[in-house]
Amino acid sequence: MQHIEARAGAVLHIDLQAVRDNYRLLRNRLGTAVCGAAVKADAYGLGAERVALALYAEGCRHFFVAHLEEGIALRPHLQQAAQIIVMHGSPVGCEADFLAYQCTPVLNSLPQIRAWQRLAQQEQRALPAIVQIDTGMARMGLSAAEVAQLKQDSSMLDGIAVSHVMSHLACAEDQANPMNRQQLDQFRLLRQLFPGAKGSLANSSGIFLGPDFHFDLARPGAALYGVAPVAGQANPMKAVAYLQGRIIQTREIPANTSVGYGATWRSTRVSRIATVAVGYADGWLRSLSNCGVAHIAGQAAPMVGKVSMDTITLDVTGVAEADLYPGALVDLISATNTVDQIAEKAGTIGYEILTSLGARYQRHYMNDATAAGTWAGQAAGNTNQEEFTPALMGSQGVSA
């Protein structure tokens, strides 16, 4: 029976040491501020359990998820010292589940505050929480008027142990954007109404805005996974994800032959076309049709025709025929074709490229230092580690 890797249409390699190195780089930039980690959306598509274990081994103790269900799924894999923070707060009527699964809510509205206070009264003890305030994003968090209500009636927070006040930056990747300073000033102003609570403002890009934005707790996400944190600057983060798709077959086509749905591409010469087992069902965005690129043995191979549900097609006319056998792996995400470069071609951001990566990939976790005999490794189960040293592997930008 063939090994599962040989049966898989594509292989996603995830370098956990690179995640740890990126975390260390970000933590070192923070000085005395604590560095948490956003592991929401399954750690941006790369596997929250394995990524969180690697980050825990590196010293991270604050893990941010979006939904309560994400926190519940992650809790069995982290030791008690790890704090799991749910940024959407509690779904209506589910407040007690936060205690059962040892998660901390971010309270984003007065109804969430009242519901958490009712639970504290039932429990007859103060319950920890983080309060989010809106400083200009108009998405989640208390408005200035709602914060003023809390100031007028401080009993609204009775029974709630507010550990941190947080907000979220809207334009931090653009360091020259005046909104960064406006949000900082608003955060400083509104935070004064929560005496004793620590502050949390910086996301990945916010860390690079400097010490004024660091406060007590940062919560980087995309930069941990190799996405460039500052627009227009060299990427200091190490690449984490490498994707390889498998060739199903190749064929030679004459000039003026269409390829793919809608006949959106036609050959201008006798061409060789390779069909690869990755499509939009795997998160390879349809917007990459006729503009994406892959690499085979270091040679660029343009994507031609529309991205299908299960396949893409490459013009491999310039690739040595010896490298085009059925089952050969082609590089889709690599040091030469980074997540950010792919996102630019697709008209999106690196976040979407990573979080769209599908469930059909065979996943290989490299450099998993938590897997050998530790409590964390036992929780993780099968390590599924493989050697991976393609010629294109390396940093997405400047080595950290």
Active-site position among 23, 151, 238, 261: 261
**What count of other Cβ atoms lies within 10 Å of the Cβ of residue 268?**
9
- Among the listed residues 197, 217, 214, the one whose alpha carbon sits nearest the alpha carbon of residue 205: 214
Report helix, strand or coil for 364: strand
> Is 139 known as a binding-site position?
yes
**Catalytic residue check, 306:** no
d(CA 338, CA 108): 35
> Is 156 known as a binding-site position?
no
The DSSP line for 68-114 is: HHHHHHHGGGS-TTPEEEETT-PPTT-HHHHHHTTEEEEE-SHHHHH
Beta pairing class for 160-166 and 217-218: unpaired
d(CA 239, CA 220): 15
Active-site position among 23, 40, 56, 238: 40
d(CA 301, CA 392): 14
Element (DSSP H or E) covering residue 274: strand 271-276
Report helix, strand or coil for 332: strand
**Catalytic residue check, 345:** no
Q: Which residues are catalytic?
A: 40, 261
Residues placed in the known binding site: 139, 309
Binding residues for substrate: 139, 309
